[in-house]
Amino acid sequence: MQANAHRRFLHASFQPLQRSNPAPSEGTLMRLRFYWRARKFLRKWDSAEIRAMVKMLRKGDVALDVGCHKGGWLYWMRRAVGPSGQVHAFEPQPELAQYLKDVVQAFRWKNVFIHTCALGSESGHQNLHVPDSTGSTSASASLVAGVASSESNQAPTVHHVELQTLDSFVQTQGLRRVDFIKVDVEGFELEALKGAQKTLGNLRPAIMVECEKRHLRVRGIELQQVFDQVLKHDYTGQFFSQGARVPIEEFHGDVHQNEEGDRFWDRDSYANNFLFLPGSISGN
């Protein structure tokens, strides 16, 4: 099925060019680059996690991508919910947010919305630290200064960005359902979840959180504090370990997030993605 979808995508992208102009348009190239990046996430980087998300989402669902970066998950979210659903993506890095808006326009998606802001425990503004003095974007950009500093020897670039709570966003948008939330915010997970308490309690979405003790310890926060923000709403937790989903009760930070050696976070045994499901959903 993946191969057939691939062929259909390429056919749809290039068919107009075959009739008129042999040189790909800028929009076509953008779609192709975005699609290939999404395929890398599915096949290499977050394969089990994305497949779990796609299996849970249905046509017409509402999905939120908190910390969208370059949209590695966004393509699969939109494909899963279809044109009758909605996808809201949050990316506070201005350059990346504009890129994502251009992608949405290139695909002509009418139900994908890019929001240039971060989510936290209260509304306002906060400094976003990008670990690169040249001002380019980074997957390690964080609202926690110490996290960005640990990723580079250079002084970080700082952007003053808008901050909302997820609860206030849901209310303002008039969303009556939220079915899935992905959170990847580089050490700011506790605040993002504190600002989502009403949504978790009332709308009961499934939620995928990337979380690492190396980021949390900058402010003396434990992983369990983050987990508890969700578990207290009658959720069950799992973590992804080498492609398998394991009960969160079996997670041990010193084992599953062992920090010995260079680039330890790239090891297959390193586990940093956690899935939380409402108590009424077993989900395999």
Query: Could you give the number of structural domains in the chain?
Result: 1
**Cα–Cα dist 54/31, whole Å:** 20
The CATH number of the domain where 127 resides is what?
A: 3.40.50.150
The region of weakest confidence among 28-32, 194-198, 231-235 is: 28-32
Q: Does 16 fall in a domain?
A: no
List Cβ neighbours of 82 (8 Å cut-off, separation of 6 or more).
59, 60
Task: Decide if 194 contacts 229 (C-beta within 8 A).
Answer: yes
3-state DSSP: the chain helix, strand, coil percent, rounded to 5? 45, 20, 35
Q: pLDDT band at residue 143, thresholds of 50, 70 and 90?
A: confident
Give the pLDDT confidence score for residue 15 in this predicted structure: 47
Q: Which residue has the higher pLDDT, 15 or 235?
A: 235
> Tell me, what's the pLDDT at 53?
97
How does residue 75 score in pLDDT terms, banded at 50, 70 and 90? very high
More confident residue, 13 or 195: 195
Q: What is the residue whose two structure tokens read 């919910």?
A: 81
Distance in angstroms (rounded) separating the CA atoms of residues 276 and 56: 12
In a domain, 114, yes or no: yes
pTM, two decimals, is: 0.88
Q: Residue 13 domain-assigned?
A: no
- The tokens for 229 are 């923000």
- Of 2-11, 12-21, 129-138, 274-283, minimum mean pLDDT range: 12-21
Find the domain containing 174 and state its range: 45-278
| 98 in any annotated domain | yes
22-26 long-range contacts (CB < 8 A, ≥24 apart) are: none
Q: Is residue 227 part of a domain?
A: yes
* Residues 154, 135: Cα–Cα separation, whole Å: 11
pLDDT band at 148 (very low <50, low <70, confident <90, very high): low
pLDDT, averaged across the chain: 88
Q: What is the pLDDT of residue 51?
A: 95
Asked, for residue 7, whether it belongs to a domain, the answer is: no
Query: Does position 133 have pLDDT exceeding 80, yes or no?
Result: no
Q: Residue 189 domain-assigned? A: yes
Give the per-residue pLDDT at 19.
45
Question: Which of 124, 77, 74 minimizes the C-alpha distance to 100?
Answer: 74
> Does any domain span residue 3?
no
The string of pLDDT tens digits covering residues 163-221 is 999 999 999 999 999 999 999 998 899 999 999 999 999 999 999 999 999 999 999 99
What integer pLDDT is reported at residue 14 of this predicted model? 43
Rounded Cα–Cα distance for residues 111 and 65 (Å):
13
